[in-house]
Structure 1
Amino acid sequence: MAFLTEGDLPTYYPAAVKMSEDDKKKYLSRANAYAFGIVGGIPTYSVQLPEAQIKAAVALAFEILAEGQDAQTNSVNGNITEAAPTGFYVRKASDPLAVVDKMLLPYKSAFESQNTASAENGVIFL
């Protein structure tokens, strides 16, 4: 099961309509896998944690992964090159997916709390 399906992708990331089917599948599977790795599983959605918000986070991960790959691949020879010359005026986030991590944090907490046995909540001293 995926957080974001290919049918949902145009709603959350309209620029994906222009992408090739192979690229869509590749980056969508990577974005879903990334989100699944952060959250740990599929949480139970609620009013406080709606499904639409996690889909938006996965769409952002999709966008970051797709842009990062396309910007660094030379279209002529396929070699990976720098997206921009390094220097003082170049601003680049050290970890662009950190924003996605923060968006997924409530879902991770909810998933962990739903799947924690009562014995794991504390320690009993005898």
Structure 2
Amino acid sequence: MPLLADSELNDYLPEAANMTADDRKKYLNRANSYALGVIGGIPLYTDKHPAETVKTAVALAYEIFAEGQEAQTNPVNGNITEAAPVGFYARKANSPFEVVDKMLQPYAEIFKGNEAESGQSDKGIMWL
């Protein structure tokens, strides 16, 4: 179950409408997987933590993944090529995914909190 479906992508990122179906699928899978990894699983939505925030974060991750493919590096020495945008490494150094991580952090905390209350073992202790 994706956090953001392909049918919803244009609502959150209209620029994606111009991409090929293969690129949309590739970046959307990466963005959904990234968000699931940060959260730790399928998030639990509440009135205070709605699904729209997660969908927006996934769309932002999608945009970051798609933008990252624009930069080109020399596969031999790793140096930036002349065709690559000048500011790519400066932007990459600041880790644009920090924003996505912050958006998803409350959902990760809720997910981890519910996992701890589910009776699973935590550091050798079984919670009953």
Specify the TM-score bucket, using the shorter chain as the normaliser.
0.7 to 0.9
Deviates more, 1:106-115 or 1:64-73: 64-73
- Give the count of matched residue pairs: 114
Q: Which residue of 2 aligns with 1:41?
A: 41
Q: Which residue of 1 aligns with 2:8?
A: 8
Q: Which residue of 2 aligns with 1:21?
A: 21
Percent identity between the two aligned chains: 48
Question: C-alpha separation between the residues in 2 aligned to 1:24 and 1:72?
Answer: 20
Secondary structure of the residue that 2:54 maps to in structure 1?
A: helix
Deviation string 1:72-113 (CA, Å, 9 cap, x unpaired) is 37xxxxxx8463347xxx842421111111111001001111
Q: What root-mean-square deviation, in Å, do the aligned CA atoms of Structure 1 and Structure 2 show?
A: 2.5
Moved over 6 A (4+): none
Q: Which residue of 2 aligns with 1:84?
A: 85
Residue segments in structure 1 that go unaligned for 5+ positions in a row: 74-79
Deviation, 1:32, is 0.4
Q: Which residue of 1 aligns with 2:111?
A: 111
Deviation, 1:120, is 4.1
Question: C-alpha separation between the residues in 1 aligned to 2:22 and 2:81?
Answer: 22
Secondary structure of the residue that 2:44 maps to in structure 1?
A: coil
